[in-house]
Amino acid sequence: MKNVLRAALGCFVLAFGSVASAQTYPSKPVRMVVPFPAGGPTDIVGRTIAQKLTETLAQPVVVDNRAGAGGVIGTEQVAKSPPDGYTILLGSISGLAVAMSLYPNRGYDSLKDFTPVTQAVTVTNILVVHPSLPAKNVRELLAIARARPGSLNYASSGSGTVTHLAGELFKTLGKVNIVHVPFKGGAPALTALMSGEVQMSYENSLIVVPHIKAGNLRALAVTGTQRSRLMPELPTIAEGGLPGYAASGWYGYVVPAAVPKEIVARLNADMNQVLRMPDVVERLSSQGAEPVGGTGEQFGAFIRSEIEKWTRLVKTANMKAD
């Protein structure tokens, strides 16, 4: 009987402590893990939102860049963090969806080890080439790639990222042999492209548009299903000569699975508030990122659908974590 009473008392204390912590949340700084390097597109989105969350939560929201393995390292770290709401992840298509099939030893399960909070943004990616490559459009690029198999290199921000997926989908649908060169984030991938170390990339508009406008890179098409409001003159890759092509990026917030639902609800409300702020919408939209928001349940269903979609490509293209 004593053991039963102790167990019951323990459960009561844990439950009461959880409610109490949820009611006082947040009482200290919140860490936002961005699983890519500073200066890249994920980092830009994360810092834009963190600045405003600092105001709505009335506590500092500190961005912590934990790069590596296409976002897997930072994602795994959050999965294993204390479920108290003080560590949140700005997850991506690579760490939350593609990693489920591309990294069999990743150390977490996107569907079991996290509670979705909300989708943050969808992002336009742009097929760009170094000016030394003579291709002016998708059809010309395909012709060059077919005439010179294995001679063109494309940069990605890491294995399993949307820039990697975009390249592999291009290879599969276009029946061309181009070589994947992964980097540890969008910023170093862009540096390699600008220097001519690689000839092409399917780069995130958040970091590439200024270089296109400056004439340092040539834009051929966007990777999504629709033209970008940012550069409406660019066709989609499907319009440009590769029917059926579509590869778009996205970011969203998750927390460790056992975070109290009251804390998840608070984070969801504050994040949706931030994503509706006119200055945040303007800043993100001007760089090709469209705010989304919504419920955690909606984001969870979206993650599940993305896992199914990209698992098929990983298997069909025999993709490997380079």
Kindly state whether residue 22 falls inside one of the protein's structural domains.
no
Residue 95 and residue 273 in contact, taking contact as beta carbons nearer than 8 Å: no
Are residue 279 and residue 296 in the same domain, yes or no?
yes
Report the SS3 class of residue 177.
coil
**Residue 136: exposed, middle, or buried by beta-carbon count in 10 A (0-12, 13-18, 19+)?**
exposed
- At residue 196, the pLDDT reads 95
The CATH number of the domain holding residue 138 is 3.40.190.10
Quick one: what percent of the chain has pLDDT higher than 90?
A: 70
Are residue 72 and residue 146 in the same domain, yes or no?
no
Kindly state whether residue 16 falls inside one of the protein's structural domains.
no
Average pLDDT, the chain: 91
- At residue 39, the pLDDT reads 85
Strands (E), 1-152: 30-34, 61-65, 87-92, 114-123, 125-129
The CATH number of the domain holding residue 50 is 3.40.190.150
- At residue 13, the pLDDT reads 44
Average pLDDT over residues 234-244: 95
Condensed to tens digits (0 to 9), the pLDDT of residues 87-143 reads 999 999 989 999 999 888 899 999 999 999 999 999 889 999 999 999 999 999 999
User: What is the pTM for the complete model shown?
Assistant: 0.81
Residue 4, pLDDT > 70, answer: no
**Total number of domains in the chain:** 2
Are residue 130 and residue 236 in the same domain, yes or no?
yes
Are residue 229 and residue 132 in the same domain, yes or no?
yes
Domain residues for the domain of 224 are: 125-240
Are residue 150 and residue 236 in the same domain, yes or no?
yes
Chosen domain end from 240, 263, 284 = 240
- At residue 204, the pLDDT reads 85
Kindly state whether residue 200 falls inside one of the protein's structural domains.
yes
